[in-house]
Amino acid sequence: MSAQEQAGPQDSKDKEGKKCAAKNGKLAGLEGDVDLQFLLNGGELTKVKSDSWQKKRFFKLQEDFETMWHDSEKIFRKNNTFSLNDIDSVRQGRGSESLQKYTDDSLEERCFSIIFKGKRKNLDLMASSPEEAKQWVVGLEKVLTHMSNLNSQQKSEHWIISCMRKADKNGDNMMTLKELKRFLQQINIEVDDTYAAMLFQKCDTSKSGTLEGDEIKKFYELLTNREEINVIYGKYAETNGQMSANNVLSFLKTEQKESVSLEDAVKLIEKYEPDEAARQSKNMTKDGFLRYLTHTEGSIINPAHRQVYQDMSQPINHYFISSSHNTYLMEDQLKGPSSTEAYIRALLKGCRCVELDIWDGPNGEPVIYHGHTLTSKVLFRDVIKAIKDYAFKSSEYPVILSLENHCCLEQQKLMAHHMISILGSALLVQPLGNEMPTALPSPEQLKGRILVKGKRLNKLDAAFNNNNTVEEDVVSEDDEAAEAKETDPKAKSTKSKIRLAKELSDLVIYCKSVHFSGFEHAKEKQSFYEMASFKESKAKQLADNSASAFVRHNMEKLSRIYPAGSRTDSSNYNPVPMWNAGCQIVALNFQTSCKKMNLNQGRFLPNGQCGYILKPQFMRTPGSQFDPNNLTAGPWLQRKILHVMVISAQQLPKLNKDKPTSIVDPYVRVEIYGVPADTASAQTPHINNNGFNPTWNMNFEFTVNVPELAIVRFLVQDYDAASANDFIGQYTLPLTSMQFGYRHIPLLTQNGDVISSAGLFVHVMAIDA
């Protein structure tokens, strides 16, 4: 066989790859882009793991635009690729712990890191020049941005085409019946052989025994046809089989309950209608209608709530504040690693209150770790540097550093020095204004500022009257710091005293830690800038038995709630009862993916995910008698009947990727969280062997008494008769941020990352009871 003949199949595969790259480039809006071409050509990068392990590897973007390939010395390594969907972000410079530890300062501009979602370790890389590093970062960010901007319909198309390519084992761009069956299993549908053969014969119009070109297109159309959309569209397409602007307006008003004009309907047609002729006639085809439904305006969350939309000029104690506990930990609190990366991840998720457990370290340098355990240690100054770099990347509103101080005087002075020298003008070292305030400032006034929460030796007035005398340099330990000693066999007393350095004390302005001695005592003796921390059990007891008093206490003061020390696995408590009692700083273990973290993410999803949510008016008005446990008449009682119809799901992920024949049996559970009277749930039956397009058309009805505190969670699970049901995806949001009518719901992993192309389709309506 001649070399030319031998090259034939490979040439055809290369041509097909180029064709695929061109198609995907067009889909992503990056046709002919220089940075994209750079990624497709690939290049050599140094992978950094330690001082001694720094090896060159060739990296390259695959033509599917979804996969990065790299070479490896591991002979038995099956898969040298990772999906772009698994990338959380690309970080330029020596922004990761490993690069700071194992590379020199002079290499700053040649380094970058690929940060993965979930628990996967960062990929730390070094290019041969600053220009090349920049091109890798720019190129990757471009592709990630364009892919995330696709609507769910485009993502779905991209995903199906990518699965088809995987099923086409010999790469000849034709599909045999065997490949068709493999493809159906890959996209999570189990069909019997007769149905598969019937589908195949229906599309194989050339009777060649393979599907190709238009036949594959026909098969794709049959597969992605959504009957539920046809029914809705058919009802409103009254103008020669299409929806006119008036028909669109009628749909928006009748079904979506939107207050819109004819002009708004025309704008939607101009934005989403792909057919030029229909667009010119101001008509919307079924394709345009589906595009609208799968884009921002058709999503479950109100688009206006994706930005900061709330009044940010109220005192900060009038807001729920996204807060983290043991922020330094990546895993459990017995032996897990401590890392600056954990702070970066929490801050980038909109967390606005982080915790620092500080202990005496070697060489006079304070360290952060979970005392009396095997968790690794990280330098205090490295954590402060990370906070300076990432505090305001995802939100411009204030960050609170909750200090749990166990250090000697000398190391406390160094802590103060590090905070002042590293954080600079961002660190709040003086109350705002020229005279002693009487209330806490607002998030708006504190934009870009970092506040310290901890013990203070004297009253805040001292900052104004040049009274530098210190009442005494000994203070009782914070409740949480004292509790940490309970596990220490050498500790003599849980309510021990510690010496406090004046330099550190002076940095505590609006968040002075004090012990809680009851609501009456707090009302008479506690200043507005003094705040207590409550262990979850104590907070729950108060929320259960004195909720109304707790709500009123939190109208004037800040409260911080933290998990019990017995949660050695870093599990979380339910934050909802604490929010119901008006507690602002409800600290959770951000490193633990669970239902409680889903609720936290849902609570802080609106208002631009800025980490601050304004509490309802009835939790801010003095004299309010609101009690979440005993609902009486009042402005909080706005009873609604919430109707949820779970219609269908699209392209749910396979859970067992190693077993091609394993198909999910999905069901959907709708859960309501809020005041005890509103807590409820209901679920659909499961559907056997269909994760691609399961349909339920099932109605649920819930009574919601206090909608302003209600959170709705949509959970999709894989039914299993013999063992626990497996988690597939979820989405959580406040009831007040929901759009009504026919809505698509994106699905997130337990960790809160979007599952590309998967979603739920529902109809939601809330009417006054």
For tokens 């209150």, name the residue. Answer: 353
Same domain, 413 and 549: yes
Is 14 annotated to bind a ligand? Reply is no
Instruction: Estimate to the nearest angstrom the gap between the alpha carbon of 217 and the chain centroid.
Output: 36
Same domain, 391 and 254: no
Q: What is the structure's pLDDT at 492?
A: 47
Confidence of residue 480 (pLDDT cuts 50, 70, 90): low
Same domain, 211 and 238: no
Same domain, 52 and 66: yes
The DSSP secondary structure of 184-237, one letter per residue, reads HHHTTB---HHHHHHHHHHH-TT-SSSB-THHHHHHHHHHH--HHHHHHHHHH-
Is 61 annotated to bind a ligand? Reply is yes
Residue 21 neighbours by CB under 8 Å, 6+ apart: 40, 63, 65
CA-CA distances (angstroms) from residue 241 to 129, 269, 278, 681? 59, 15, 11, 40
Same domain, 417 and 500: yes
Last residue of a domain, one of 619, 648, 664: 619
Q: What is the structure's pLDDT at 376?
A: 85
Is residue 632 in a domain? no
Is residue 512 in a domain? yes
**Residue 108 in this model has a pLDDT that exceeds 80:** yes
571-621, pLDDT tens digit by residue?
899 999 999 999 999 999 998 889 999 999 999 999 999 999 999 999 999
**Residue 198 in this model has a pLDDT that exceeds 50:** yes
Q: Which ranges in 527-589 belong to alpha helices (H)? A: 536-545, 547-553, 576-580
Q: Which amino acid is at 720?
A: D
Same domain, 419 and 533: yes
Is residue 1 in a domain? no
Q: Which amino acid is at 146?
A: H
Reported in sequence order, the residue ranges of 490-553 that DSSP labels E, i.e. its strands, are 497-499, 508-513, 530-535
Is 658 annotated to bind a ligand? Reply is no
542-565, pLDDT tens digit by residue?
999 999 999 999 999 999 999 988
Is 380 annotated to bind a ligand? Reply is no
Is 479 annotated to bind a ligand? Reply is no
Tokens at 306, concatenated? 């994706």
Same domain, 281 and 325: no
Same domain, 258 and 377: no
Q: What is the structure's pLDDT at 86?
A: 87
Is residue 331 in a domain? yes
Is 560 annotated to bind a ligand? Reply is yes
Cβ–Cβ contacts within 10 Å for residue 402, how many? 27
Name the pTM for this structure: 0.87
CA-CA distances (angstroms) from residue 299 to 245, 373, 425, 667, 749? 20, 46, 41, 21, 18
CB 754 within 8 A of CB 729: no
Is residue 412 in a domain? yes
- Pick the catalytic residue from 146, 305, 318, 325: 325
Last residue of a domain, one of 112, 128, 149: 149
CB 91 within 8 A of CB 71: no
Is 64 annotated to bind a ligand? Reply is yes
Q: What is the structure's pLDDT at 493?
A: 46
Is 134 annotated to bind a ligand? Reply is no
- Pick the catalytic residue from 146, 295, 305, 370: 370
For tokens 């550093």, name the residue. Answer: 401
636-681, pLDDT tens digit by residue?
999 999 999 999 999 898 887 667 667 899 999 999 999 999 999 9
Residue 277 neighbours by CB under 8 Å, 6+ apart: none
Instruction: Estimate to the nearest angstrom the gap between the alpha carbon of 291 and the chain centroid.
Output: 24
- Would you call 325 a catalytic residue per the annotation? yes
Range 106-120 average pLDDT: 90
Q: What is the structure's pLDDT at 426?
A: 98
Is 49 annotated to bind a ligand? Reply is yes
Range 306-327 average pLDDT: 97
Q: Which domain holds residue 157?
A: 153-224
Same domain, 213 and 326: no
**CATH number of the domain that residue 712 is part of:** 2.60.40.150
**CATH number of the domain that residue 473 is part of:** 3.20.20.190
Confidence of residue 22 (pLDDT cuts 50, 70, 90): low
Same domain, 377 and 507: yes
Is residue 308 in a domain? no
Same domain, 190 and 104: no
Rounded to whole angstroms, the Cα distance separating 479 from 514 reads 8
**CATH number of the domain that residue 289 is part of:** 1.10.238.10
φ, ψ dihedrals at 281, nearest 5° = -85, 5
Confidence of residue 330 (pLDDT cuts 50, 70, 90): confident
- Would you call 406 a catalytic residue per the annotation? no
What secondary structure letter does DSSP report for 661? T
3-state secondary structure 581-637: CCCCEEEECCCCCCHHHHHHHHHCCCHHHCCEEECCHHHCCCCCCCCCCCCCCCCCC
CB 248 within 8 A of CB 281: no
Is 617 annotated to bind a ligand? Reply is no
Is residue 403 in a domain? yes
What secondary structure letter does DSSP report for 441? P
**Residue 184 in this model has a pLDDT that exceeds 90:** no
Rounded to whole angstroms, the Cα distance separating 760 from 729 reads 10
Q: What is the structure's pLDDT at 7?
A: 41
Q: What is the structure's pLDDT at 324?
A: 96
Most confident of 192-206, 290-304, 437-451: 437-451
CA-CA distances (angstroms) from residue 206 to 134, 152, 178, 211, 743? 50, 33, 18, 8, 40
Last residue of a domain, one of 224, 245, 272: 224
Q: What is the structure's pLDDT at 121?
A: 86
Structural domains of the chain, count? 5
**Bridge-partner residues for 732, per DSSP?**
713
CA atoms within 13 Å, Cβ hemisphere of 556: 16
Same domain, 386 and 240: no
Is 546 annotated to bind a ligand? Reply is no
Is 193 annotated to bind a ligand? Reply is no
Is residue 375 in a domain? yes
**CATH number of the domain that residue 132 is part of:** 2.30.29.30
Residue 633 neighbours by CB under 8 Å, 6+ apart: none
